[in-house]
Amino acid sequence: MDIHEYQAKELLKQYGIDTPPGALAYSPEQAAYRSREIGGDKWVVKAQVHAGGRGKAGGVKVCTSDTEIQQACESMFGHKIVTHQTGPDGKGIYRVYVEGAVSIVNEYYLGLVLDRTTQRVMIVASAEGGMEIEDIAQSRPTSIIRATVEPAVGLREFQCREIAFSLGIDNSIVQNFVRLLEGCYRAFRELDATMLEINPLVTTEEGRVLALDAKMTFDDNALFRHPQIAELRDKSQEDPRECRAADRGLSYVGLNGQIGCVVNGAGLAMATMDTIKMAGGEPANFLDIGGGATPERVAKAIRLVISDANVEAILVNIFAGINRCDWVAEGLVQALKDNPVDVPVVARLAGTNVEAGQRILASSGLPIIRAGTLIEAAERVVNAWENSKQLSQRKKQPSKKVKAKARAVRQAVDAKTTS
Ligand code: ADP
Ligand code: MG
């Protein structure tokens, strides 16, 4: 789960990390009021969206008066911001963070990530602050400093100092940097984060080391241990399809194709999507019903997939171990009877109670196409989808009568213009 910059800063402050004074606003008037509370004569208005690259996309604006703050807000509130991290649809701006402007001496990049290969927390730093890490990795890969933390001993002070020296941080403020990095590591571990990025981390004339931007991602599977973090979820920033599924306790991943997939288990989901692609189709999503799914749970899953406007065909692929094919079939039939669809549905059931499941599908009176193997199922769903597409195109084509009328009108117009 991702959180907003202002939320990450709030958390990091509790770990002793220095940040500029700031406050959240939900309207231009509130933003101006907030700036007066903060004090000073220069502020930065920052769009709160779950994406970086806001600066280049007009989501970070420096202001020196109430009017400028209100103007900056008006260009943000209710609009969508598109950055290289938001995807082409962009993300809606519903909150802004007003922050005192800082006079920066140097900008650095600092990131903590869970490195799956080494199974360690890795610290990534660079003196090329403000730039995206992917760009730094391309333009000056040697400027990236990496350090791995041994979990048995934790982050050592000497490692922090080494990083500070490699970044060229002035001796007089190395200790401030060390405290900040130690705080970040503690926050990362204690809050079960999978990513913490401060870009830029800045130094000031007064010798402060500040987090000017902050991004944090948390391990969804550990959120039950941190209810205060789970509460920070902002659904306006997430794929609405994935939100609806999460609210119903289902794992759902939205994609860009046309074939909706209902499966059990992530491995089978991957195999199903690969096979659909091999058969010439593109998955619109995949929904994992998990193990031991009741007919009600299966029906909920099918309804969710049906509600996705991109879905033009559905493939239900269940390899039942703990699951029961008869329950899956019951749920599928129930959902299709309650919500009749005009898209083809293919079901491939295998494993526990498969005969009972097949009987339920066969006696349902619904046009569910059955398949025995995954490849067969994928080919059938792609064929059925292509056929239904052709059929609907034919339906959309004007009838002979309409065509004749259109021809008559065209001829009449032609006759007028030539006479
Ligand atoms: P993003 O990474 O989404 O573009 P940042 O928060 O990193 O957003 O802001 C972009 C740039 O704006 C920063 O690199 C920094 O130069 C400047 N900036 C951001 N906040 C402040 C601030 N409080 N004072 C001065 N400059 C700031
Ligand atoms: Mg940034």
Q: Which domains does the chain have, with CATH numbers?
A: 10-19+103-237 (3.30.470.20), 21-101 (3.30.1490.20), 240-396 (3.40.50.261)
Does residue 212 have its Cβ closer than 6 Å to ligand 1? Answer: yes
Which one of 109, 185, 312, 379 is the catalytic residue?
Answer: 109
Q: What is the arithmetic mean of pLDDT over 161-176?
A: 97
Distance from C-alpha of 281 to C-alpha of 31, rounded to nearest angstrom: 49
Lowest mean pLDDT among 171-180, 352-361, 380-389, 406-415: 406-415
Which one of 99, 107, 182, 197 is the catalytic residue?
Answer: 197
> pLDDT tens, 293-331?
999 999 999 999 988 888 999 999 999 999 999 999 999
Which residue has 């929904």 as its token pair? 287
Which residue has 């241990």 as its token pair? 225
Which residue has 């700031």 as its token pair? 22
Position in ligand 1 atom list of the atom nearest CA 132? 2
If one residue of 98, 213, 215 were mutated to test the ligand 1 pocket, choosing by the most ligand atoms within 8 A of its CB, it would be 213
Cα dihedral across residues 369, 334, 365, 354: positive or negative: positive
Taking CA atoms only, the protein residue closest to ligand 1 atom 18 is 212
The rounded Cα 207 to chain-centroid distance in angstroms is 37
Please state the three-class secondary structure of the chain as a single string: CECCHHHHHHHHHCCCCCCCCEEEECCHHHHHHHHHHHCCCCEEEEECCCCCCCHHHCCEEEECCHHHHHHHHHCCCCCEECCCCCCCCCEECCCEEEEECCCEEEEEEEEEEEECCCCEEEEEEECCCCCCHHHHHHHCHHHEEEEEECCCCCCCHHHHHHHHHHHCCCHHHHHHHHHHHHHHHHHHHHCCEEEEEEEEEEEECCCCEEECCCEEEECHHHHHHCHHHHCCCCHHHCCHHHHHHHHCCCEEEECCCCEEEEECCHHHHHHHHHHHHHCCCCEEEEEECCCCCCHHHHHHHHHHHHCCCCCCEEEEEEEECCCCHHHHHHHHHHHHHHCCCCCCEEEEEEECCHHHHHHHHHCCCCCEEEECCHHHHHHHHHHHHHHHHHHHHHHHCCCHHHHHHHHHHHHHHHHHHHC
If one residue of 110, 212, 237 were mutated to test the ligand 1 pocket, choosing by the most ligand atoms within 8 A of its CB, it would be 212
Does residue 58 have its Cβ closer than 6 Å to ligand 1? Answer: no
Taking CA atoms only, the protein residue closest to ligand 1 atom 19 is 212
Which residue has 């090329």 as its token pair? 128
Higher pLDDT, 233 or 247: 233
Does residue 102 have its Cβ closer than 6 Å to ligand 1? Answer: yes
Does residue 54 have its Cβ closer than 6 Å to ligand 1? Answer: yes
> pLDDT tens, 129-158?
877 888 888 888 888 999 999 999 999 999
Percent of the chain with pLDDT over 90: 78
Q: Quick one: pLDDT at residue 418?
A: 46
> pLDDT tens, 378-412?
999 999 999 998 887 776 555 565 556 556 655 65
Percent of the chain with pLDDT over 70: 94
Distance from C-alpha of 277 to C-alpha of 275, rounded to nearest angstrom: 5
Active-site residue 197, yes or no?
A: yes
pLDDT over 90 (residue 6): yes
> pLDDT tens, 60-94?
999 999 999 999 999 999 999 999 888 788 999 99
Q: What is the arithmetic mean of pLDDT over 9-26?
A: 98
Does residue 281 have its Cβ closer than 6 Å to ligand 1? Answer: no
Does residue 55 have its Cβ closer than 6 Å to ligand 1? Answer: yes
Position in ligand 1 atom list of the atom nearest CA 5? 6
Q: Burial of 419 by CB count in 10 Å (0-12 exposed, 13-18 middle, 19+ buried)?
A: exposed
pTM, two decimal places:
0.76
Nearest ligand to the CA atom of 107: 1
Residue 195 tokens, joined: 């990513």
CA of 201 to the centre of ligand 2 (A): 9
Does residue 52 have its Cβ closer than 6 Å to ligand 1? Answer: yes
> pLDDT tens, 260-292?
999 999 999 999 999 999 999 999 999 999 888
Distance from C-alpha of 270 to C-alpha of 283, rounded to nearest angstrom: 10
Distance from C-alpha of 258 to C-alpha of 31, rounded to nearest angstrom: 43
Residue 227 tokens, joined: 């209810």
Q: Quick one: pLDDT at residue 408?
A: 61
Q: Which of 260, 259, 243, 170 is nearest to 207 (CA)?
A: 170
Residue 405 has φ and ψ, to the nearest 5°, of: -65, -45
Does residue 90 have its Cβ closer than 6 Å to ligand 1? Answer: no
Active-site residue 6, yes or no?
A: no
Residue 324 has φ and ψ, to the nearest 5°, of: -125, 125
Taking CA atoms only, the protein residue closest to ligand 1 atom 9 is 55
Residue 128 tokens, joined: 């090329």
Position in ligand 1 atom list of the atom nearest CA 130? 14
Position in ligand 1 atom list of the atom nearest CA 22? 23
Cα dihedral across residues 88, 93, 94, 96: positive or negative: positive
Q: What is the arithmetic mean of pLDDT over 412-417?
A: 54
Are 112 and 123 in contact by the 8 Å Cβ rule? The answer is yes
Nearest ligand to the CA atom of 210: 1
Distance from C-alpha of 46 to C-alpha of 98, rounded to nearest angstrom: 6
Confidence tier at 417 by pLDDT (50, 70, 90) = very low
CA of 189 to the centre of ligand 1 (A): 26
Distance from C-alpha of 168 to C-alpha of 145, rounded to nearest angstrom: 12
Position in ligand 1 atom list of the atom nearest CA 100? 23
